[in-house]
Amino acid sequence: MTVPYWVQDSIFYQIFPDRFYNSDPGNDPLTTQAWGEKPTIWDFQGGDLRGVIQKLDYLLDLGITAIYFNPIFQATSNHRYNISDYLKIDYKLGTTNDFQALLDVAHQNGIRIVIDGVFNHCGRGFFAFNDVLENQNHSPYIDWFHLNNVPPDAYSPGDADDYEAWWKFKSLPKFNTDNPRVRKYIFDVARYWIRLGADGWRLDVPNEIDDESFWEEFRQIVRSENPDAYLVGEIWDGDPKWVGPASFDGLMNYPVRDGVIGFLMGNIAADGFSEMINRQLNQYDQENVFAMYNTLGSHDTVRIKTELGGDQKKLKMAYSFLMAYPGAPAIYYGDEIGVDGGKDPDCRKAFPWDEKDWDHDLRNYLQKLINIRKKRSVLRRGSYQEVIVDSKRGLYAFARELGGESLLTVLNASGARRNIKISAEDLHWSDGRIINDLLSNQEFIVAGSDVNLSVEPWEVLWIT
């Protein structure tokens, strides 16, 4: 296998560091808001790495086994995608010792840590770009960037015209990764944090470094430090070009997220949902399918509760699908307790630690799904087989199979009770066998070669 063995068994949790928990107000910048205020593009709320350590019991109780962090390196923004020092933890989050302590306590508790790699662009405060601004044509770093004019205008309003920048934002100058010295710098950064103990990299907009040799060398360097390090790419359209032994183990699986939302909101019928799911399953090797980072939300999307109109049954159905689908399911911080929010920055709210503000029913349900998934290897490693695709009645069902064990997931995405008949032989269930829905504890009996099921409106069954 070229994919780390642990990924398909993981339950990921994404943390936007400034908004999870503030353990040390002493390192907060002057522009820190009160915790829980409406988030802005500019202001901080004070979350830090020690805060994650202090709340690790909460994550363990939920069932988390891996954390993906948005950028943690020195930067001037609350999102930290404009990095000024790739070898330093942002002082507003703590120190390298704090990060090491987080790694130690996480690893002791069976939690892996994946960090965000922003290598397409840096911030204006990055030392090499600063040197260009100061020394202009005399700078030894002038070929580290794509300059159209020297000195570049980096701070006045408007688009970046004097140099290439991400989406033409002046604050995000693009690296010249054709330059061997730039490549060496980035590869050294990748090596440094893996050597320190990070368990993998999530790569930000990697398709904007459209260079197969760059990512192949990046992979080799990371894997030389840790053969089990996970590499996951932010590729929104699910292009298989970016998956495999010369690039990434998996991708942030936004197409599956879009399909789930479309199906539950009635914008995609069951047959269209089936087509999308099969496309995602069939365009990658199986080991990469099992290494996809499957999520219903992130720092770049509307919160899943808001996307589904706050409908509790649809939320539960979405998570039931996610936890039964091949790959590594991921929870965006706060989604498990019903945090809502629109587009950035509203989707980056501070975690509400007062439990009276929590949706306990949703959290308990998600905790139950996680516990079942962790106990049932068929949900983590089993094959995927469609069983029902019924657009007229809003039904979709699939089975995961492993070593003779079958687990059937039935989704009734409609407002009516549905009676359905399923071939028991296809699921290796014999006549007279009593089967059980793991979510409701309902029992059903196999009659002959068939199973007759009654599914309530917006109900999910996990039957085995």
Tens-of-pLDDT digits for all 464 residues of the chain?
799 999 999 999 999 999 999 999 999 999 899 999 999 999 999 999 999 999 999 999 999 999 999 999 999 999 999 999 999 999 999 999 999 999 999 999 999 999 999 999 999 999 999 999 999 999 999 999 999 999 999 999 999 999 999 999 999 999 999 999 999 999 999 999 999 999 999 999 999 999 999 999 999 999 999 999 999 999 999 999 999 999 999 999 999 999 999 999 999 999 999 999 999 999 999 999 999 999 999 999 999 999 999 999 999 999 999 999 999 999 999 999 999 999 999 999 999 999 999 999 999 999 999 999 999 999 999 999 999 999 999 999 999 999 989 999 999 999 999 999 999 999 999 999 999 999 999 999 998 899 999 999 999 999 99
Residue 68 lies in a domain: yes
Domain assignment present for 171: no
Same domain assignment for residues 285 and 317:
yes
Same domain, 58 and 189: yes
For residue 326, tell me if it sits in a domain.
yes
pLDDT at 265: 98
DSSP letters of 21-55? --S-GGG--TTBPPTTSPP-SS-B----HHHHHHT
CA separation for the pair 249, 278 (Å, rounded): 19
Q: What is the reported pLDDT for 314?
A: 98
Same domain, 217 and 264: yes
Q: How many domains does the chain have?
A: 2
Q: Are 277 and 269 in contact (CB under 8 A)?
A: no
Order of strands across the sheet that contains 460-463: 383-390, 395-402, 405-412, 460-463
Q: Residue 385 carries which side chain, given as an amino acid letter? A: Q
* 15 assigned to some structural domain: yes
Range of the domain at 46: 7-120+177-375
Catalytic residues: 204, 234
Q: For residue 399, report the phi and psi dihedrals to the nearest 5 degrees.
A: -120, 145
Nearest alpha-carbon partner for 235 in 383, 120, 339: 120
pTM for this model (two decimals): 0.97
Indicate whether 397 and 328 sit together in one domain.
Answer: no
Q: What confidence score (pLDDT) does residue 148 get?
A: 97
Inside any domain, residue 146: no
Q: What is the CATH number of the domain that holds 441?
A: 2.60.40.1180
